[in-house]
Chains A and B, each alone.
Chain A
């Protein structure tokens, strides 16, 4: 196939082809893929496999441990704290995602309009997203302080709470959950707003005008035109957010450390506490892995939905 045929005066000379392995697309592709594959193996596959191996042993810090099969998982099923962790994580993810979507969409619709200082405002909106999470969480922790916090001071000045009877934001189980949800929403809304705004900008303004002429009122224009056209972007943004929120660690770790009385533990914080805090490496790994099938199911479901929306 790759023979070089040259015609000289007199006859046809068939020359021997040079050996050029990189001109073969398959070889070249393999070579170009190599760095990526190496990185993936090193930083994704190895830790993942190591996690699985840890989860089926009884390793502790300093003890290699023996193979124990699914004992760690069986123990988790009976662990009341783990039950709370599952409930907390789902509640936390669901509530914050709903609010982030609603507030983010609202903000995106506002930012998509024409107004003065538009570019500045759009950049400003991103601040919660840019500030290092741990730093922001410390600030929030201070704001939620039961005695000295600015929030309780405001509630007192507004006459909503009595002096000395401020809300115990982080000390009460339910209030602590509410508090970390507020921080998560505060931090996540900019991502929703900016991403959805980018989505809105891909929708031609002519469509809205055509719909206006067709007799659609503003709410109808949103419902029949904007919302369905924004759906693919919305689904991707929600997918990212769910993955991030489901495995959230920083906010809870800094604000409550999972407390009070394990009331705000999520998968990641509980895994950390078991594995690193108490040194029960294999049990921590089991908690982390328990998150995997759930997250996997959510991701598969959403990816299927995105594909359906995109191909219609």
Chain B
């Protein structure tokens, strides 16, 4: 079993509390992505699992064995670095064979494993070359190859795609996913790119300021963000927020501000009791907005002014002034609007989210 358990782990640097007591259970064969802005503690967490950073407090277990004091080489992990960290003076073959040589595998077995990995990653014709003769994408494959020849319990990825150009990144993302489906090795993957997190992860861990904000499957994070931070971080373009006040009018509950009066859907309204009369942040994703028609009720639509319309072919991204700030809507490609045009946007009520203005937790 190669499950990884992180239990109440802290990391203090001299005057910086980088990781503030996180706990996480990663199941055998699972692909978990740690995502968050720079400085959120995701890389530090990964490096503590690798054994490259000491753990100030708490425990890390790999396969039910506490590894806090074990050096990296005894943890049976492999790591892929952001800048690949290939040994520049060795051939590709030697780069991939190095870990096996250090572990005293016999030559025939090393050759078999390296050739096998080179086959999988399609880098066989480069085996006798030096890393600097390869392109970024090929180097990334070598770095992957170096990890998979060892057949470790856990793969650790530290932003492995961020040095690649956009097109290659998408391609390598798919290959990583295929590789994981093929090898089914427990993987921890660090990135600041939420698209990578959503597409690669079986589960995604959103981190901020050394704390875990939410753990869940990608769609769960998208549909039920635990707080305003996760809501804004997951999804592209990001969720729109508007500051409102919750008011009871007759039987219905409304979120209002000077430019909007939106009726809160009933299942959420039922939870609004303690928030009535208090400020709350309304959240709505760009894809849950559309050009209002006569069918859209007054209480589920609002006025907006178009600032910029971005034609993407499959959709139009409208940058708007609305709800007392800036908003973004993703609308049908057939919509015709001009800058400064006043429009009315309809809301898909199932997309409405509310967050406590003070704690930012989802209501």
- A residues near B, CB below 8 A? 204, 206-207, 209-217, 220, 224-225, 228-229, 312
Q: Are A214 and B89 in contact (CB under 8 A)?
A: no
Q: Are B79 and A213 in contact (CB under 8 A)?
A: yes
Q: Given the known A-B contacts A204-B83, A220-B102, are A213 and B89 also in contact in the complex, defined by CB atoms under 8 Å?
A: no
In the A-B complex, the 10 residue pairs with the closest CB atoms: A214-B99, A215-B102, A206-B85, A210-B85, A215-B73, A213-B72, A212-B72, A228-B89, A215-B103, A216-B102
In the complex, whether B222 has a CB less than 8 A from a CB of chain A is no
**Neighbouring A residues of B62 by C-beta, 8 Å:** none
CB of B16, distance to nearest CB on chain A (Å): 15
15 residue pairs of the A-B complex, CB under 8 angstroms, read: A204-B85, A209-B50, A209-B72, A209-B79, A209-B81, A210-B146, A212-B72, A213-B73, A213-B78, A214-B73, A214-B150, A224-B87, A225-B87, A229-B88, A312-B89
Q: Which of B73, B88, B89, B146 contacts A212 (CB 8 A)?
A: B73
**How many angstroms between the C-alpha atoms of A204 and B87 in the bound complex?**
10
What are the interface flags for B85-113 relative to A under an 8 Å C-beta threshold, 1 for contact and 0 otherwise?
A: 10111000000001100110000000000
**How many angstroms between the C-alpha atoms of A212 and B99 in the bound complex?**
9
CB of A299, distance to nearest CB on chain B (Å): 24
Q: Given the known A-B contacts A214-B98, A214-B146, A220-B102, are A229 and B89 also in contact in the complex, defined by CB atoms under 8 Å?
A: yes
In the complex, whether B337 has a CB less than 8 A from a CB of chain A is no
Main SS of chain B's interface residues? loop
CB of A108, distance to nearest CB on chain B (Å): 19
In the complex, whether B188 has a CB less than 8 A from a CB of chain A is no
Q: Given the known A-B contacts A212-B72, A213-B72, A213-B77, are A207 and B102 also in contact in the complex, defined by CB atoms under 8 Å?
A: no
| Chain B residues with a Cβ closer than 8 Å to the other chain, count | 22
**Neighbouring A residues of B150 by C-beta, 8 Å:** 214
**Neighbouring A residues of B268 by C-beta, 8 Å:** none
Q: Are A209 and B146 in contact (CB under 8 A)?
A: no
Q: Which of B85, B98, B99, B103 contacts A209 (CB 8 A)?
A: B85
CB of A242, distance to nearest CB on chain B (Å): 24
| Interface hub of A204, A214, A216, A220 (most chain B Cβ within 10 A) | A214
Q: Are A206 and B99 in contact (CB under 8 A)?
A: no
**How many angstroms between the C-alpha atoms of A228 and B81 in the bound complex?**
21
**How many angstroms between the C-alpha atoms of A229 and B51 in the bound complex?**
24
**How many angstroms between the C-alpha atoms of A212 and B130 in the bound complex?**
21
Q: Are A209 and B52 in contact (CB under 8 A)?
A: yes
**How many angstroms between the C-alpha atoms of A220 and B77 in the bound complex?**
19
**How many angstroms between the C-alpha atoms of A59 and B322 in the bound complex?**
98
**How many angstroms between the C-alpha atoms of A209 and B79 in the bound complex?**
9
CB of A308, distance to nearest CB on chain B (Å): 12
Additional 8 contacts, C-beta under 8 A, given A207-B85, A213-B79: A209-B52, A211-B102, A213-B51, A213-B78, A216-B98, A216-B102, A224-B98, A312-B89
**Neighbouring B residues of A220 by C-beta, 8 Å:** 102
In the complex, whether B325 has a CB less than 8 A from a CB of chain A is no
**How many angstroms between the C-alpha atoms of A204 and B50 in the bound complex?**
18
Considering the complex, which residues of chain B in the window 113-148 have a beta carbon less than 8 Å from any beta carbon of chain A? 130, 146
| Interface hub of B77, B87, B103 (most chain A Cβ within 10 A) | B87
CB of B131, distance to nearest CB on chain A (Å): 11
**How many angstroms between the C-alpha atoms of A214 and B72 in the bound complex?**
8
**Neighbouring B residues of A216 by C-beta, 8 Å:** 73, 98, 102
In the complex, whether B71 has a CB less than 8 A from a CB of chain A is yes
**Neighbouring B residues of A214 by C-beta, 8 Å:** 73, 98-99, 102, 146, 150
**How many angstroms between the C-alpha atoms of A197 and B81 in the bound complex?**
24
Q: Are A215 and B99 in contact (CB under 8 A)?
A: yes
Q: Are A210 and B81 in contact (CB under 8 A)?
A: yes
Q: Given the known A-B contacts A212-B73, A213-B78, A220-B102, are A206 and B146 also in contact in the complex, defined by CB atoms under 8 Å?
A: no
**Neighbouring B residues of A207 by C-beta, 8 Å:** 85, 87
Closest A residue to B74 by beta carbon equals: A215
CB of B49, distance to nearest CB on chain A (Å): 11
CB of A205, distance to nearest CB on chain B (Å): 9
Q: Are A211 and B98 in contact (CB under 8 A)?
A: yes
**How many angstroms between the C-alpha atoms of A215 and B97 in the bound complex?**
12
**Neighbouring A residues of B146 by C-beta, 8 Å:** 210, 214
**How many angstroms between the C-alpha atoms of A229 and B87 in the bound complex?**
9
Q: Given the known A-B contacts A206-B81, A207-B87, A224-B98, are A212 and B103 also in contact in the complex, defined by CB atoms under 8 Å?
A: no
**How many angstroms between the C-alpha atoms of A206 and B77 in the bound complex?**
16
CB of A233, distance to nearest CB on chain B (Å): 13
Closest A residue to B79 by beta carbon equals: A213
**How many angstroms between the C-alpha atoms of A206 and B83 in the bound complex?**
8
